[in-house]
Structure 1
Amino acid sequence: MTEYERSRAMPALPEHVFDQAANVDQLESWLPNELHVRAEDPPAVTVHEDGADHDTPALLRPRPDQMRLEWGTRHDSGYTGYLQVAGIDNGTSEVTVHLSFLDDEHDPGERAVREALDRSLQRLEEQVRLRMENAAG
């Protein structure tokens, strides 16, 4: 099993960050560009990966009381992960994304995963910032 984790501070309350991150209809605004999530019967979703042109049955479980979003493959032991939001102070939050590849066959490698996680966190921060600006304006 291989695990990866990245974190990023965001200038918003944890509730705002979690609401943006856990919105199934807006996941593609911050996930890696090649991943597309289609909601089914919650918590079931299907994840389409452009590079492999492949659909994967998955589960997506928001846990608002814990500010945590959990996911993983549904029928095999490919991967699991979570996004955790924590309040820091003065209206800022820290977002941590953790991925576990249970089968090395599914692991695209450290560099690819870290770059994808960093890009995703950056995109999430941009979405949170836009949401906050629109709410204020």
Structure 2
Amino acid sequence: MIEQGSYLKSKIYDLMNLMINDESGLFEVGDLDGYIDKLIEKACIITIMAQDALQGFLAYYANDYENKVGFISMLIIDPSTKRMGYGRRLVEFALKDLTMKGFEKCRTEVNADNIKAVNICKRLGFTYVGNNDVYMVFEKQL
């Protein structure tokens, strides 16, 4: 029997690797294995599966109970299933979960060159609140 964590890790690895190698230059992760291990260990992960294929996933953190701020770390949808509403549904599910857990805000960070991701944030009601060293920061009141 395959351990659920290693099964999920292999599916996430394959999908993230596909995005890293898509030649857009918009997606990069230094230590992919380490990053996925961190997500599996510490983040909440929601997946969309079809016939044993990972169509997309969203990873978010619900651990800042002091400030009541959740954080969406990663949203990836398989390019073959884009424009089917999967990303929106994953984000809506995460926001609903954060609200039920008592969180008041949700933040995310987006590569400024990733116009599609910037537009998705705006469409989903996130507001631009500034930049950090690398990314645009968006926030949504829950």
Please give the TM-score of this superposition, normalised by the length of structure 2: 0.32
Q: Quick one: higher RCO (CA 8 Å, sep 6+), 1 or 2?
A: 1
Query: Which has the larger strand fraction?
Result: 1
Please give the TM-score of this superposition, normalised by the length of structure 1: 0.32
